[in-house]
Every structure is written in structure tokens, then in C-alpha cells.
Amino acid sequence: MTSFFNPFSLPILFLSILSFLSLTAHAADPYLLSYVCENTTFSASDSIYQSNLNSLLSSFSSNANVDFFATTRGSDTSEPVYGLFNCRGDLTSQDCRDCVNAAVKEITNNCSTQKVAIIWYETCVLRYSNRSFFSTVDEKPMIGMLNVQDVTDPNKFNQLLNASLIELLVKLAKETSNVPTGANKFGTKQVNMTNQTLYSLVQCTPDLSGTDCNNCLQDAIKILPSCCSGKQGGRIVFPSCNLRYELYQFYETVATVPPPSPGKDEISPAIIIAIVVTFAASVLLVILAYCLLRRRAKKKSKAINEESPKQSDGLLNYHAANEITTVESLQFDFGTIEAATNKFSDDNKIGEGGFGKVYKGVLLEGKKVAVKRLSTKSLQGLEEFKNEVILIAKLQHRNLVRLLGWGIEGEEKLLVYEFMPNKSLDSFIFDSERLLDWKTSYTIISGIARGLQYLHEDSRLKIIHRDLKPSNVLLDHDMVAKISDFGMARIFSENQNIANTKRVVGTYGYMAPEYAMEGVFSVKSDVFGFGVILLEIISGKKNSGFYLTEHAQTLLAYAWRLWCEGKVLEFVDNSLMESCWTSEIVRCIHIGLLCVQENPQDRPTISTVIVLLGSESIVLPQPKHPAFSLDRFVQIDEFSVNELSFSSIVPQ
């Protein structure tokens, strides 16, 4: 086998050697949690099944030097038995072997005549069945366990725990599920609370896909509050995944490696020291080389930005701006688009704003499209146009509008999208003859959240939309919400969480205060816009221009006042009250207020929002005073972006 040397793996190898130098004895005997033997017994006549089962269990013992093993004994015509075991990701090979052997012995003693069985230990799970369950999410049978220890201040502690735990587990589940199918899907995290440290662990069986793993863990997260609310620790255990949290560290921070196999020559201390020194020197050289390249890249980037200041504030860097050539296959001939829209006839116009006009079109093959014809006076210039083409061409999600193509001729810049027969969300929620019932509204809210989750966490790129508002949420024939208009979007690097800009773009009423005042934006900026939309859907009122009403200066101020006065149902549009569950709509208002809190750190991530929307059993933290941006800004330097009037703004 050819071996390849990767210099960037040196730090990991170095840690492995340090672990090898500090080996300790393996843990105590495995601790049994529970087992379930399904009531499907087989008799002496099923000797083939018994033989296959015995062979399967024997194979578990002989393959327990790995943390995951799945196999089948028998065939479709000879009573097949399917089985697997999975050890916790922080175990040594010896600890895994001990747990699997204990599980084989226990399940043989207690489930020897059952065709289906599963057994959970503290550090491993083992199961078998007469049906194939590989690569399938199974959530039954389930066990929930809790730490019965009391806390000093239950009310304060529970509030901290609920706020930190759900956020932590959602993030950990996402990170863990992102590893490829077949890889070890195991993760741990810790977070510091007030005078406490919260430790958490999640794991899926490696045969699950990333999506199935995440779905399994999200379902476990939803159940956790009803199982373990108010306790110092708890866990939910499914056949396919499990999670646990405690106020003490119950897992190994760094998994150790097994000792040398019997019969092998031991490595002398001198050789080990030589290897460590060699690796350390190599790591140092790699770091120095990396720093040198990084410095050169920064100089080059600075020079490019000085040449093109507008471009430096756009979505893509200098090199990425040239990527438009990679989407040439999506280019439409201008004449084709002109013919499809009947030469951009007013009869085909379906929308208009500061960016330009939108036309309905029909291509030669009969396919309906929407054509955005950018205005030559629009601030969405060539760079924003390139942004939208390059970005949307890479994004594919049910809740994002799909770009079909683009075209350029002279000053004409055209974008061709899938046609949305129900137009945009604002045409429904702000209509005096509102047509949306609560079920449809709730589905739209959830769809917007899932689209944002894809942009923030699930796509290959971390994307901040920066202009989320009802007119940028389109609705297809089934009223499925699709986020559109990515001309103002920004791409973040994998480890980047926050950025700032001197060029604030977007729409007043939906811009987070830290962005409007200081040009600072992050995923929490989009969460703020989502919260405003959620409150607009429920109230049927616009946040922008709300100061002209008799209720309050902003929609957020009005919602907050009613919330504090215990009159929150007065906030709900009358047409929704006829079709909604009161508890559900009050919970959505609560979530909306959490999203529009002034401090971005207090706002939940969009993944947390999705979990909160999907489970009524999770206790919501109390919202803090929302951002009343119009109370705190003065307006100067008006300019026009999209269909509204905007201003540069500074704090009073």
C-alpha cells in the first residue's frame, strides 16, 4: 500500500504520540443501562436462525478491536440475521472490546430465544434483528435517563441550562452529522455557565447519512426537556443515536490508542523521543511556511482592494468575481429572453422596485419563468449582479428560489428565475383581505427558517443574506416559501462568525441595530430580520412605517408592550385567530421576540429557532428588551436601494 505524508496532519500525529507515552489502564467493567428483547421468539425448528445468530454474536467478539462493526449472517432464503455494535467514540480498543464482549454475554443470557434484541451499555450499543436496519434511523425502543441530583437555585439554573443546552446540542449535532457516512459520528462539547461547566456528548451509528444522523439527534433534543428538565444531567438513547449532558466531565477529552500487539518489539524511549523531536521540528516549519504564505496573501488582497474598493465590500473577492465564466452554461441569449417576455411588455410585468422590474416570461418550450431586469439606475451594479449569478448557481434548496439563467447585453443585466405564481409574501400578509390561515402561515415561517439554516449552516458556504424581508420571500403554487434576492449577500469563511462594512445596505425595519449603527453583521443579523418577518406575519402589520400608527413607534415596541402587559393576543391579526391554536401562536410571538433582542448574542441561532418551533415541550427563555431602532437613529444622506427610501444612519 502506498503511503502519503500530509504535513497538515502533523499536530494530530504529535498528539497521538504524546497519548501513547501516557497510556493508562482501561476503565472498569462496562455499566449496563438497559436491554430490550422483542417478543418474537423462535423455536427449535428455527435451528438455521439460531445458528446464524450464534455466528453473528461470535463475529462481534472477534471484531471488537474497532469501534463500529455491522454484518449479516445467512441469506434471504436462509433466515438472515442482521447486527451491529458501536462503541463510544472516546474509548480505547481494549475498553471497546470489553464492552462488546459484556454485551454479547448479557444479550445471550437474556435474549437467546428472541429474533430481535438491543442492549445499551454506558459505552456501547449492540443490536440484531431478522430485518435489515442498516442505514436506517430507528428511534424505538427508546430510553431516557436523568441525573437525580438537585441544584442549589433551580429556577436560575434551569433558565441558564435551557438557554445554553439546546444551543449547544443543536450545534454539536450539526457538526457531528457533517462527517461522511461510515466515519465515526461522535462529538463532545463543553460550555461555561455561571459558576458551572456544562458537558455534552452526541453520537450516531456511522452507517447513517449526515442528514439522517442530524434528524435523529434533533428528535432526541426535542424529547430531552420532557425527560430531564430541571435536572443536572440527562440522556436520550435511541437505537440509532444518543445524546447526554452533565455538569461533570463524563467522557475522555482525548481518546487513547491501544498498546502494541503481543509479540511486537517495543519501541525504545530514545526512538520515541527522536520521533517526537522530528515531528515538532516539522510542525514548526509548516507553521512558519503557512505564516509566510498568509502574509503574502494579505499583501496581495490589500493591493486588489485598493484598486477596486467597491469590489472589496462585495460578496466575492477579486478572484471569485471572475468565476462568472464558470456558469456560462446558464447564459441566455438576450433575444430569447426578450421574446419570452413579449419585449418586456407592461402586460407581462409582475413586480417593480428600486432594483428594476420583474416580468413573467414563457420560453419556447412552454416553461414559465420570472425575469428580473435590473435598472441602469439601481445600486445593484455589475458586482451585485455577478454575486447573485455566482451565488445562486451554487445553492440548491427547497426553500431558496432557483436561478435558471442570466443574460447581459450592453447595459442590460437580466436574471431568469423559476416562476412563482403566488408572488411574494408581502402581497399576502399586508393585504386588507388577508387570505392566509394560520396553518399556511406557520408552514411559511418554518420554510423561511429552513432556508436560512441552509444558508448559515448546511450549504458548502456560510452565507449572510443581509436583506431578508417579506418582498424577498416568494411563494410557489403550493405556498412553499423560497428566499430570493441574493445581490446583497455575503459569504463567510468556515471559521468566520462576524464581519463589518462601511457600506450598509438593506431595508430599514429589517436591519439589526448592530448592522444599521456600526456596519457589523453576522448570522444573528439575519435572525433579527427573520424575527421581524415572523411578527409581521402574525400581526398583519409592517414594521417599517409603524410609527405612523397610534400603537407605538415600531411594531417591535408594540409587541413588547403587549407582551409585558399580558395582552399578547391583541397583537394577533383577527383573520389568524379564527384558525390558530392560541398556545402555538403565543409561542411563535415569544420566539419572534427572542429573535429581535437588541444584543445579537441573546438571539438564538436559526437552528435553535427550528427546534423551538418544532417542540412545545422545550421551555423558552424570557425575551429581553427588543431593539427599537427607529427610536435611536437620526437620518442623513438619503439614497435609494430596492423599492424603499433609505438613509445612512448614525446613533443619536
Cβ(526)–Cβ(456) below 8 Å: yes
Cell of 60: 462481534
Residue 522 · residue 497 · CB < 8 Å: yes
The count of C-alpha atoms lying within 13 angstroms of the C-alpha of 340, restricted to the half-sphere facing its C-beta, is 27
What letter would DSSP give residue 454? I
3-state secondary structure of 243: strand
Sequence-distant (6+) residues with CB within 8 A of 177 are 185, 204, 210, 211, 213, 214, 217
CB 179 within 8 A of CB 211: no
- Exactly one of 95, 98, 212, 467 is catalytic; name it: 467
CA 152, 157, 162: angle at the middle one, nearest 5?
150
* Positive/negative CA dihedral, 555, 557, 562, 563: positive
Kindly provide the residue ranges of all beta strands, DSSP E only, lying in 63-161, ordered along the sequence.
Answer: 68-73, 81-87, 117-121, 124-129, 143-147
* Start-end of H helices in 454-521: 513-518
| Helices and strands (H, E) in the chain, number of each type | 18, 23
Helix (H) or strand (E) holding 15: helix 10-21
Q: Is 346 a catalytic residue?
A: no
**Consecutive H or E run containing 609:** helix 606-614
Alpha-helix residue ranges (DSSP H) falling in 74-129: 93-110
Tell me how far apart the alpha carbons of residues 612 and 235 are, in angstroms, rounded to a whole number. 19
Question: Which residue, 27, 152, 42, is CA-closest to 99?
Answer: 27
Counting Cβ atoms within 10 Å, is residue 591 exposed (0-12), middle (13-18) or buried (19+)?
buried
User: Does the annotation place 372 within a ligand binding site?
Assistant: yes
Phi, psi of 139 (to 5 degrees): -115, 10
Q: Which residue has the cell 456596519?
A: 519
The C-alpha cell 449572510 sits at 464
Give the separation between CA 37 and CA 537, rounded to whole angstroms. 49
Range 393-419 burial, b when 16+ CB lie within 10 A, else e: bbbebebbbebbbbbeeeeebbbbbbb
Between CA 607 and CA 447, with CA 389 as vertex, the angle to 5 degrees is 30
- B/e letters for 224-240, b = 16+ CB within 10 Å, e = fewer, are bbebbebbbbbbbbbbb
Q: Which residues are catalytic?
A: 467
Residues contributing to the annotated binding site for ATP: 372
Residues contributing to the annotated binding site: 372
